[in-house]
Amino acid sequence: MGTRIGLYPGTFDPITKGHYDIIARAAKIVDKLVIGVAINIGKGPMFSVEERVAMVREEAKQLTGRDIDVRGYDNLLMHAAVEIGASVIVRGLRAVSDFEYEFQMVGMNRRLNSEIETVFLMASDNHQFIASRLVKEIAMLGGDIRSFVSPRVAEQLIARCAELRRNAGVAE
């Protein structure tokens, strides 16, 4: 049997402690983990794909001794998986609402490529409620985000929110 490559896709806008937890756990069950940062213009990301890839790389560096690669992708997930030789897609689940969406995605992905399995990792208790969308909202409104993201990511997010508020003409 060859190297088992897993692909953990997401927007990571920004990467949260919940994402990091899934990355750390996924890296233990595959030989190589590729973190695929989706371009995902439809979601209107706060950070460019290059910024998000850099953020994820910086966070993943902490997981020494693990074979982890971070790259952007702008095609179908299953095409990205084939390109990197992945046999496993890793997805994190926070709640029942996540399951419903993910269940549909697995069905579609199996139709596109039945050779690639999807593995779900349940969010750890202390990360189940963390969503990038909510973290960005809290940051935009000046709330404390330090318990949801690393200090490095918090600094970047706070700076981006200040920049967006300035550009919108909102007083600090």
**8 A C-beta contact, residue 16 and residue 136:** no
What is the C-alpha separation between 49 and 71, in angstroms, rounded?
Answer: 9
DSSP type of residue 114: T
Catalytic hit among 4, 57, 71, 94: 94
Contact of 122 with 93, CB cutoff 8 Å: yes
Catalytic, 61? Answer no
Q: How many CB atoms lie within 10 A of CB 116?
A: 17
Task: Copy the structure tokens of residue 91.
Answer: 């997805």
Active-site residue, from 19, 52, 91, 127: 19
Q: Is 79 among the catalytic positions?
A: no
Rg over alpha carbons for the chain, rounded to the nearest Å, is 16
Annotation marks residue 19 as catalytic: yes
Q: What is the rounded distance in angstroms from the CA atom of residue 89 to the CA atom of residue 22?
A: 12
- Give the tokens for residue 164: 């967006």
Nearest 5°: CA angle at 103, between 48 and 37? 15
> Active-site residue 48, yes or no?
no
State the catalytic residues.
Answer: 19, 43, 94, 132
